[in-house]
Amino acid sequence: MANRTETRTERAHRTIHAGGEWLAASSGATREILDPADALPFTVVAEGDEKDTDLAVAAARRAFDAGEWPHTPVAGRAALLRRVAELLVRDREELGLLESRDAGKTVEEGRVDIDCVADAFRYFADLVAGEAPGRVVDAGSPEVHSVVVHEPVGVCAMITPWNYPLLQASWKVAPALAAGNTFVIKPSEITPLTTIALIDLLVEAGLPTGVANIVTGPGHTVGARLAEHPDVDLVSFTGGLTSGTKVAQAAAVTVKKVALELGGKNPNVVFADACETEEGFDTAVDQALNAAFIHSGQVCSAGGRLIVEESVRERFVAELARRAQKIRLGRGTEDGVECGPLVSAQQRAKTEDYVASALAEGAELRCGGKRPEPSPQRPESGYFYEPTVLDHCHREMRVVREEVFGPVLTVETFRTEDEAVALANDTEYGLAGAVWTADAGRARRVAGRLRHGTVWINDFHPYLPQAEWGGFGKSGVGRELGPAGLAEYRESKHVYQNLAPKPVRWFAG
């Protein structure tokens, strides 16, 4: 294998890792990776296909069926995960910068992502290390020993999105390895670089050959083959609803386990009493900006639906728009930049289409709604779009119903608590939401009534690796993180031992 410097910066064309080797695509195809800040290519990766996918799955299958990792003691698996966390800390600056250039986010966001990735590896290491070896079941007889144990699922296919490339990968890789599985991962074809780097770190940490495999390539070939492959035991997908539905349909043919995280249309509900003090008002506005515009709104849990009590609506929205106009857009690697570009020309065009449709349907543009003026920090060729606030929105608008994945905030209003809850739940998704209020009783009532997998009270966006993440409705099935996130990568087995066997005499003969 090439040395570490070469693998990170000069391994052009060889980004498929199968059975312990870095390979070019079998077809010889490659893809240029563009910096979304200027649309210029800055590296090249292999463009894999079904043949490459089959090679990687075969390697993962061998490593699971005949390899050592599934039988490695829990302490050994936990130790490797902790070693990976240490390597992530060591390479934090390098990986944070790579995430910034690849996905367009600011370097500081990239650094925070790497911290969170390290936290995920530590959490799952601690979780498995602290578990009991099995759950004893009371069989009602001293002559029976009954225990439920957990075993790895097998070969796991992981399909990850472009917005948080390494973070989303870690939410799958860490629990899968903790449970003793092998895997093949397909990162987004437009942001694969930090996931490639993670494979290097796993190898450096001592993971046995064939346990970790990666195929860089598009979803319609690599992703589709992973979902349908008969030697894959589980497929975990994070991405859009349409693609996730196709993954589930393909996986159903072989009746493999499926976990889907499919995004959301997330309400941020602000009651007037949260704004009664200047500090409360300032905090709620500040958090509404964070909810909608972090990473240019390219977040599955983005609070893109502001649902604000009518009595404070005008003051709240005016201040929100004023501050949104001051957000400093630019290349994520530049000092002082607060928000980077969208990830691709396609994503910006999609955002522009949603804004145009909203204005045609009667929304009022309070700020943004266009590409910014070019500057040294914002090359004209980059995929920049101004933070946009759309007022006087209603449920029938596409921009309110559908996931935009761009820097667009819609504003709806309510008068009563029941109306606020009804609006917040009036979505086919159910990933996350927030309620802002100074009334503790109201906070608990509303949180209890919201049909979303994560509900924040007087906050937005924080998550904990020890708490489950996932959604209701069309936001997906299954959970990542927390004990349930580990359980996704396990099978439960009941072992019933008769300590004093004797004839049953059911049949007289």
- The identity of residue 458, as a single letter, is N
CB-based burial label for 418 (10 Å; 0-12, 13-18, 19+):
exposed
Give how far Cα 298 sits from Cα of 195, 214, 302, 356, Å.
19, 24, 7, 19
- Spatial separation of the C-alpha atoms in residues 370 and 456, rounded to whole Å: 31
Q: φ, ψ for residue 126 (rounded to 5)?
A: -65, -35
- Spatial separation of the C-alpha atoms in residues 305 and 285, rounded to whole Å: 13
Element (H, E) at 485: helix 482-487
DSSP state of 323: H
Give how far Cα 175 sits from Cα of 168, 202, 295, 483, Å.
12, 14, 26, 9
User: Which residues are catalytic, by number?
Assistant: 261, 300
- Spatial separation of the C-alpha atoms in residues 367 and 408, rounded to whole Å: 10
CB-based burial label for 220 (10 Å; 0-12, 13-18, 19+):
exposed
